[in-house]
Amino acid sequence: MKILKKLLRNPTSMAGLVLLLAFTFIAVFAPQIAPPPERSRDPYMIPRDGFSTTPAAPDDEHPFGTTEGQYDIYYGVVWGTRTAFRVGVVVTIFTTIIGLAVGSVAAFYGGWLDEVLMRITEIFQAFPFLLAAITMTSVLHTIYGRGEAGPLTFMAKMLALVTFGHNPAKPVDPMQMQILTGILAIIVFGWMTYARVIRGNILAVRELEYAMAARAIGAGNMRILLRHLLPNAIFPVLVIASMNIGSYVLNFAALSFLGLGAQRGYADWGQMINFARNWIPSLADHWYIVVYPGMAIVLFVLAWNLVGDVLRDVLDPRMRGRGNGF
Amino acid sequence: MLAYITRRLLILPILIIGVTILVFGLLSLLTPYERVALYVQDTPKRQGAIDELIVKYGLDDPIPVQYWRWMVGQRDPDTGEVKGGILRGDLGFSQVGRSAVAEVVARRLPATAELALWSAVPMIGIGIWLGVLSAIHHNKLLDQVLRVFSITGWSIPVFVFGLLMLMIFYARLGWFAPDRLSDWASRIVQSDAFRRYTQINTLDALLNLRLDIFWDAVKHLIMPVVTLSYLNWAFMLRVTRSSMLDTLRQDYLTTARAKGLAESAVIRRHALPNGLIPVVTVGGLTLIGLLNGVVITETVFNYPGMGSFMAQAASSLDVVSVLGVTLLSSVILVFGNLIVDVLYGFIDPRIRLQ
C-alpha cells in the first residue's frame, strides 16, 4: 500500500501507470474499439481490404493506413495490445515459476545440489539472450512443423491452455502455435535472474529465528520452504518480474520482426513492422507502416519502464529518504 | 587476487562444456533425418542414400556417443579422413550460406567486427561522459533531461529505431544508405588494385590511402553504429550515474574539497577513478548488447555480417547455421566475461590487495 502511494505521488511512475491503464482499456475493449468484421473466423487475424502489395496511406476507412497486403494497421495496433499483454504475462508467469523453483531448491538444500543448479543457471546465462531465443525458436519451429513432438507437444498444449484458454484435447491451431513457439523460447532463456535473486533472498532468511522455530516444532522441509521461507523472500522477485513484462514484449516483437514470432497477418506489433522491411527505399512515403505499430511498442515498453524505474528506487533501501534518483 | 583469477579460470571449462552440451541438446531434439544436413552438402539423388548416411555417421547412436563425435569429429570409414568435430572448427554445413558454417562466419565476421568496433567507442565514451554529467548535476535540469532520454532510449526497440533512421536519413534526406559500401566503392574494393589487409573496410581504405572509399564506408556505417549504440548509451549512462553518485557522497571527497582543490580536480582525480570501477563490470552486459544488437541492426540495414546471416538462417530454419553462430557467440561472451572479471580484479584495489 505504501508502495502504491509512492508510485501515485511520483510524476514519472504516474505517467507510466496512466499509460498502462490506457493499454489495459484498449485491450479489454478491443472488440468495441476495432470491431472485427462479420464472419471473421479469428478476431486476431487482421482484416484485409484487397490484396494489393503497395501500402495505402491513412484515410477515413483505415485511420492508420494499411500495410503491404492491405492489412488494416489500426485494427492490428488495437488487437495487438491483447497479444502484447498475453505474451508479457504468460512469459512472466512461467519464467517466475521456473526461477522460483530452481532458486529456492538450490538455496534451501544447499551443498552439491546448489552447486549444480547454479552452474546450470550460469550456463544458460552464457548465451546472449536474443541469439538463444532465436535459436530455440528455429529449433522448435522445425520440431512442431513435423507434427509429432512427444513431450514438447504436451508443453505446447499447456502453454496454449494458459495463453489462449485452448482445450488441451484438441490439436493446437498452427497460428497460435507460432506465438507459443516464440513465448516458449523466451521462457527457456528468461528465468535465470529470478533463480539467482530468490536464492540470495532465501539464503538470507533461512537462518532467521522463525525458520529455526518452524524446524524446531517439526515442520517438514516442504512446509518450511513453502509456508515460511518463500513468502518472506518472494516479493522482490515478483516486482522484478512484473517490471520485465515490457522487455519480454520487446524481445517477442524482435522475434516477430525477424519473422519468427507471430504469423503474417496476426495482430502483433512486431509482425506488422516486419512488413516495412520490403519498403525501406520508400519509407518516407509509407511512414505509417513503421510509425503507428512502432509507437505502440515504444509506449507499451516505456510504460513498464517508467513504473519500474520508480519502483526500483522505492524498494532500494539505500535510496530511501533521498530525492528521486534512479 | 590469484585465488580470484584461478577460480574464474576453473569455472571457464565448465561453462564452455555446458554451453556445448546445451547446444548439442537442442540439436538432438531434431530427428536423424533433419540432422543429416550436418554432413551432407548436396541433396542426395539416390533413394535410401539418407538412411545409409544416418548409419554411416551413427546419427541413431546413443546421445552421449554422438555428443563426443560431434565434439571431436569422426574418421570416415571409406577415405580415412577425419570429418566434423566442433573442436576442430567444423560447425557443419550451412544450407543458407551454401558452404561450411565456419567459412561463412569467417567471411562475415570482419564486417561485424568493424561495426562492433566503431560502436564500442561512442557506446563507452558517450555513455560514461553523459553519466558523469548526470551525476554531477544530480537532480538539476540536465540530470532530468538525461534521465528521460535514458528511459525512453531503453524503451525503443532496435528495429524501430533503425527503421526510423532509414526513413529519415535514407528515404527522406538521402544522406546515408544501407548496405556496407556503394556500388562504385565495392567494385574498387574487390579489384586487384585494392589490397585487403584486414577485410575491415575503413581500415583497409586508410591503408590503401583511398580517402574516398574510407568516407564511403563511414557513410554506410553511421546509421548502424548509432542504432547499435544508443541503447547502450542509455544503459552506460545509468550505471555510471548511480556509481558516481555513490562515490560523490564519500567523505574523502569532502576532504579533497576541504584542502582547497578545485571542483574539476576533485572530480577528475578523486571521484572518477573510484566511480568508474563498477562501470567495468557491465562490460560483459555491453558485450551481450552488441552480440544481440548486431542481429537486428544488420538485418535492418542489410549489412552483410554475422548477425544478418544468423537472422537469414533462422528465418529459413537452417538450424545448423543458427546453432553454429550461437555457439560461437556464447564462447565469445564467456571469454569476454572472463576478461572483464580479471580486469576488474586488477582495477579494484579491494580485490587486488586480497
- B102 contacts: CB under 8 Å, gap ≥ 6: B89, B90, B91, B324
For residue A278, count CB atoms less than 10 angstroms from its CB and return exposed for 0-12, middle for 13-18, buried for 19 or more. Answer: middle
Please report the pLDDT score of residue B77 as a whole number: 67
Cβ(B25)–Cβ(A133) below 8 Å = no
Residue of B nearest to A308 (CA): B151
ipTM: 0.86
Spatial distance between the Cα atoms of A192 and A48, rounded to a whole number of angstroms? 41
Tell me what percent of the residues of chain A surpass a pLDDT of 90: 29
Question: Three-class SS of residue A279?
Answer: helix
**Does the structure show a pLDDT above 90 at A300?**
yes
Contact B159 A260 (CB under 8 A): no
Spatial distance between the Cα atoms of A304 and B171, rounded to a whole number of angstroms? 32
A 141-200 residues inside an 8 A Cβ radius of B: 141-143, 145-146, 152
Q: Which amino acid does the sequence have at B17?
A: I
| B100 φ/ψ angles, rounded to the nearest 5 degrees | -60, 145
- B209 contacts: CB under 8 Å, gap ≥ 6: none
Spatial distance between the Cα atoms of A207 and A118, rounded to a whole number of angstroms? 20
- A147 contacts: CB under 8 Å, gap ≥ 6: none
Cβ(B178)–Cβ(B302) below 8 Å = yes
| B140 φ/ψ angles, rounded to the nearest 5 degrees | -90, 180
- A98 contacts: CB under 8 Å, gap ≥ 6: A187, A191, A194, A195
**Does the structure show a pLDDT above 60 at B20?**
yes
CA distance, residue B184 to nearest chain A CA (Å): 19
Which residue in the set A139, A141, A291 is minimally distant from B26, CB to CB?
Answer: A139
Spatial distance between the Cα atoms of A123 and B22, rounded to a whole number of angstroms? 8
CA distance, residue B194 to nearest chain A CA (Å): 30
A284 close to B (CB below 8 A) = yes
Contact B15 A126 (CB under 8 A): yes
pLDDT tens digits, one per residue of B178-207: 887 887 877 877 777 777 777 787 777 778
Spatial distance between the Cα atoms of A150 and B288, rounded to a whole number of angstroms? 33
Please report the pLDDT score of residue A192 as a whole number: 92
Which residue in the set B155, B159, B295 is minimally distant from A134, CB to CB?
Answer: B295
In this predicted structure, which of A3-12, A58-67, A117-126, B43-52 has the lowest mean pLDDT?
Answer: B43-52
Stronger pLDDT, B156 or A238, i.e. the higher one: B156
Spatial distance between the Cα atoms of B114 and A189, rounded to a whole number of angstroms? 29
Which residue in the set B152, B166, B315 is minimally distant from A260, CB to CB?
Answer: B315
List A71's β-bridge partners, or say none: A48
pLDDT tens digits, one per residue of A261-290: 888 888 899 999 998 888 888 888 888 888
Please report the pLDDT score of residue A1 as a whole number: 67
pLDDT tens digits, one per residue of B288-332: 888 888 999 999 998 888 999 999 898 888 888 899 899 999 998
Alpha-carbon A140 to chain mean position: 18
B119 close to A (CB below 8 A) = no
CA distance, residue B237 to nearest chain A CA (Å): 11
A 222-261 residues inside an 8 A Cβ radius of B: 246, 250, 253-254, 257-260
Cell of A66: 494499411
Please report the pLDDT score of residue A42 as a whole number: 83
Contact B29 A283 (CB under 8 A): no
Please report the pLDDT score of residue A187 as a whole number: 93
Which residue in the set A142, A145, A305 is minimally distant from B154, CB to CB?
Answer: A305
Contact A253 B334 (CB under 8 A): no
**Does the structure show a pLDDT above 80 at B119?**
yes
Question: Three-class SS of residue A230?
Answer: helix
**Does the structure show a pLDDT above 80 at A21?**
yes
Describe the crossing of helices B101-136 and B141-155 by its angle, rounded to 10 degrees. Answer: 160
B63 close to A (CB below 8 A) = no
pTM (two decimals):
0.88
* Residue A11 neighbours by CB distance under 10 Å: 10
Spatial distance between the Cα atoms of A71 and A56, rounded to a whole number of angstroms? 10
B271 close to A (CB below 8 A) = no
CA distance, residue A305 to nearest chain B CA (Å): 7
Please report the pLDDT score of residue A156 as a whole number: 80
- Which chain B residues touch A294 with a CB distance below 8 Å? 157, 160, 163-164
pLDDT tens digits, one per residue of A118-175: 999 999 998 999 999 999 998 888 888 776 667 777 788 888 888 888 777 777 787 8
- What rounded mean pLDDT belongs to chain A? 84
- Which chain A residues touch B314 with a CB distance below 8 Å? 134-135, 137-138, 258, 260
Cell of A114: 546448489
Quick one: CA torsion of A248, A86, A3, A102, rounded to 10 degrees?
-60
A130 close to B (CB below 8 A) = yes
- What rounded mean pLDDT belongs to chain B? 83
A11 close to B (CB below 8 A) = no
pLDDT tens digits, one per residue of B70-101: 888 777 767 767 777 778 777 877 877 788 88
Spatial distance between the Cα atoms of B19 and B91, rounded to a whole number of angstroms? 14
pLDDT tens digits, one per residue of A204-231: 887 778 878 888 888 888 888 888 888 8
**Does the structure show a pLDDT above 50 at B159?**
yes
- Which chain B residues touch A276 with a CB distance below 8 Å? 163
Helix (H) or strand (E) holding B71: helix B63-72
Count how many pairs of residues, chain A against chain B, have C-beta atoms within 8 Å.
176
* Residue A60 neighbours by CB distance under 10 Å: 5
